[in-house]
Amino acid sequence: MPVKKLSIVLKELRESRGLTIKKLAELTGLGNGTIGDMETGKSHGSRKSLGKIAKVLNLTPEERNLLDSAFLGREVISSDDPRVTNLNKRERLQHDDFMRDALLFFQDEKVSDEDKQKLFDSLQEAFFTIKLANKRKK
């Protein structure tokens, strides 16, 4: 599935909250130009700016995933597991790559949603078990 451009996603999320660029800038502490440039595609913004915007817009996990995917230019694997949110950038990339490889299995229509969820949960648990084992080696 193609990832939407950050400019489009950001504008849709802002407008869905009934906010103007000026009001969002005021609430986030960012400049009007910063948000305007992000919405027109002139600037990509920073992760920090994106975090401020996400907080002010009070995004759902799905909306935050959409925003993060647009920012990174590739699909991000979403998870309700709090361990995922505590990963640093490098670890998050490793997690996303690990889980993306598993998505090939999810494309099989013969696999039930329940089995897909079990696999996703098991793979995520394996990722964190391996991560912990690697930390112990150091």
Average pLDDT score over residue span 88-112: 70
- CATH number assigned to the domain with residue range 6-72, chosen from the 4 options 3.40.50.300, 3.40.50.720, 1.10.260.40, 2.60.130.10: 1.10.260.40
Average pLDDT score over residue span 93-121: 70
Secondary structure of residue 78 in the 3-state scheme: coil
For every residue of 1-70, which 3-state class applies, written as one string? Answer: CCCCCHHHHHHHHHHHCCCCHHHHHHHHCCCHHHHHHHHHCCCCCCHHHHHHHHHHHCCCHHHHHHHHHH
pTM of the model: 0.57
CA 76/CA 82 separation, integer angstroms: 15
Average pLDDT score over residue span 113-138: 81
Does the pLDDT at position 78 exceed 70?
Answer: no
Average pLDDT score over residue span 21-35: 94
User: Which of 53-57, 118-122, 130-134 ranks highest by mean pLDDT?
Assistant: 53-57
pLDDT score recorded for residue 77: 58
> What residues contact residue 73 under an 8 Å CB cut-off, 6+ apart?
3
Q: Which one is predicted more confidently, 56 or 111?
A: 56
CA 80/CA 102 separation, integer angstroms: 17
Per DSSP, helices labelled H in 73-112 are 82-85, 89-106
- Mean pLDDT taken over the chain: 81
CA 92/CA 33 separation, integer angstroms: 30
